[in-house]
Every structure is written in structure tokens, then in C-alpha cells.
Amino acid sequence: MTTTLPERQATPPAAPAGGPSRPPASRRRAFTRRRALTIAAFLAPAFVVVAVFTYYPMLSGSLGAFRTWTIYNVAEQPWTGLDNFRGVLTDPLFYGTVGNTIVWVIGSIVPQFVIGFALALWMRRKFRFRGIYQALVFFPWAVSGFLIGVLFRWMFNSEFGVINDLLMRSGIVDSPLPWLATPALAMPAVIIANVWYGVTFFAIMILAALQSVPDELYEASALDGAGKLRSFWHVTVPYIRTTLALTVLLRTIWIFNFPDLIFGMTGGGPGGRTHIVTSYMISITQQGEYGRASALGLIVMLVLAIFAVFYLLATREKKEAYR
């Protein structure tokens, strides 16, 4: 697998000679043009797929936000400047969905994080059938969000649902609660479904991180007299901080962009009380108003990008403060 001498001479130095001695050819292959070409050729399919199926539609969809683009006349899409954005921002329903989104994201992520963390800590210990149990815990993640929405729609059904049945049998309530028909109960109901669904992801990620914490650290902290709680706060948490921060960031973005469950469960009702920004965006798309939906999509992207930047800055500062 060594390159021939003429080829190597024809190739300009691959990297600036940083150190006085280059690693021997047997350990590090010279970066030849042919090699560059090979790498590029292998990357090309992935690059082409991503460019054609992700970035091109994204770009063309984004341009749609500045055009009159509706199902009623797909052929003509005149530019309209910021009209679509104005349409979104002057829509009274939009602000309701923003409030709902905040409740939905925070209400979902906090319990998901806490329960997911607890599950991960528990599954880290070795016990019989741990593998089977892990598989069972991770199972919900493999099910489609819409399907979960439909399942929970029946579970929360006032007359035939298992939740009211359990609550009434255990004497917690006297009469069935109209979960999905009451504004005050509908949002908690969709959040409960989402927590059930999303706990799994936290459990997977945190468990993987926990398994990377070396046992020696726990042994050392035990020798120093640290109890379980102390070693948790001072060994476990700092060690997996990066994973925690990234998982929370990812989940925040995903929950924000997770209208599937809401669509299956309430369709945004009652009276729009469970519509989040992204489910509202889909309902605008269903009305054939692609331009306005694109504008809303761009607003969502912008908000999430700003959130991600601030979030990453905030978590990095904390990390540095610890040093």
C-alpha cells in the first residue's frame, strides 16, 4: 500500500512541516492528490445526498417565505417581500401558540430530564435481566410520535380511557375528567404523553455517559469519605456535564419541533390550546399557504439558533468557572 516514488515527487507537500521530523511513512500515509481524490469521491455521495435532499429544499423553501406561494396557484409565485412575515406576526393565534410552546417545552423537558437521569442511574447498576429491562425502557423511542399521540388520545379519553378508569377506581376522582376537552387539562395530558416518550432518550444518553465514568474515581472519592450524594454531585455530574448539556439542547430543539404527538392526540384543540408553533405551522401548510408556513418556519429556525447560541455560551461559562 505504499505510493510510488514518481507520484510522491509530483505531489506538493500535503501539510506544512510543523515539526522537525515527519512520522515514518509506515505509520502515516502521505497525503497525495490521489488520496485526496479518493476521500473526496467517497464523501461525494453523502455530500450530494445532503445537498440535494436537505439543503436545496431548505433553501428553496426559505425563499418561498418571501413569495406568494399557495396551493391555489403553484405556477405563479410572485415576490412579496416581508408580507408573509407580517401575516404571521399580526396573527393573534400566533402569540397563543408561542405561549403554548414555552409551556410545552419546559413542561416536557424538566420531567424528562429528571426521570431519565434517575432511570439511567438505576440501570447503571448490574442486576438480573438488565439487558431486557434496558431494551424495554428504550422501546418507546422506536415508535412513531403520531402513533403515540393516537394511543394516548384513547388513554385520555374521558369515557373509554384507561386513565380515568384508574383514577376513579383508586378513588382519586369521583367523575371522569374530560382531559382533552378542558383547556386546563389538555396541555398537561399531551405533556404527560411526551414525557413518557422522551424519558427514554435521556436515559439512553445519560446511561452511555455514566458508563464512561471510571470506577477509580468513585473508589477514590469513597476513600476520601464521600457519601453517595457527594460523589454524585462532585464526581458523576461534573464528569458527564457536557453530555447533559448537549442532550438538553438537542431535546429542547426536538421537543420544539415535535408536533407529531400533538397532531395525533388533540390536533391542537380544544380551541387551539395545545397548538405549538410547529403544529400551527403544519396546519397552515394544510391550508395550502406554503409561503406563510415557510415564514413561520424561518422564524422558528431563527429563534432556535439564538437559543442554541445562548445556551452553549451559558453552559460553557459554567464549565470554565469550575476550573
Q: Residue 160 or 233: which CB sits closer to other proteins?
A: 160
**Stretch of residues binding other proteins (CB under 8 A), selected from 176-184, 199-207, 212-220, 239-247:** 176-184
Question: How far, in Å, CA of 243 to CA of 213, rounded?
Answer: 12
- Report in angstroms how near the CB of residue 299 gets to other proteins at its nearest: 20
x/- string (CB under 8 A) for other proteins, residues 239-278? ---------------------------xxxxxxx------
x/- string (CB under 8 A) for other proteins, residues 287-306? xxx-----------------
Q: How far is CA 314 from the centre of its chain?
A: 19
**Stretch of residues binding other proteins (CB under 8 A), selected from 31-39, 213-221, 238-246, 248-256:** 31-39
What amino acid occupies position 25? Answer: A
The set of cell numbers assigned to 123 is 440501570
Which residue's entry shows cell 469513597?
A: 222
The set of cell numbers assigned to 77 is 409565485
Per the CB < 8 A criterion, the answer to whether 276 and 262 are in contact is yes
Cα 174 to Cα 166, 182, 275, distances in angstroms: 11, 17, 30
Q: Residue 41 or 229: which CB sits closer to other proteins?
A: 41
Site for other proteins in 63-122 (CB under 8 A): 70-75
Which residue in 212, 170, 188, 323 sits closest to 265, CA to CA?
188
Q: Residue 29 or 130: which CB sits closer to other proteins?
A: 29
Per CB under 8 A, the list member of 8, 10, 33, 38 interacting with other proteins is 38
Q: Residue 61 or 288: which CB sits closer to other proteins?
A: 288
**What phi and psi values does residue 289 have, to the nearest 5 degrees?**
-100, 75
The set of cell numbers assigned to 44 is 461525494
Question: How far, in Å, CA of 177 to CA of 165, rounded?
Answer: 10
10 Å CB burial of residue 263 (0-12, 13-18, 19+) is buried
Q: Residue 181 or 249: which CB sits closer to other proteins?
A: 181
Note whether 144 binds other proteins by CB under 8 A: no
**Stretch of residues binding other proteins (CB under 8 A), selected from 44-52, 78-86, 193-201, 247-255:** 44-52
Per CB under 8 A, the list member of 37, 135, 136, 312 interacting with other proteins is 37
Which residue in 137, 61, 107 sits closest to 251, CA to CA?
107
The number of residues in the chain equals 323
Per CB under 8 A, the list member of 10, 28, 33, 48 interacting with other proteins is 48
* Contacts to other proteins by CB under 8 A: 1, 3, 34-35, 37-38, 41-42, 44-45, 48-49, 52, 70-75, 157-160, 175-176, 178-181, 183, 186, 266-272, 283, 286-289
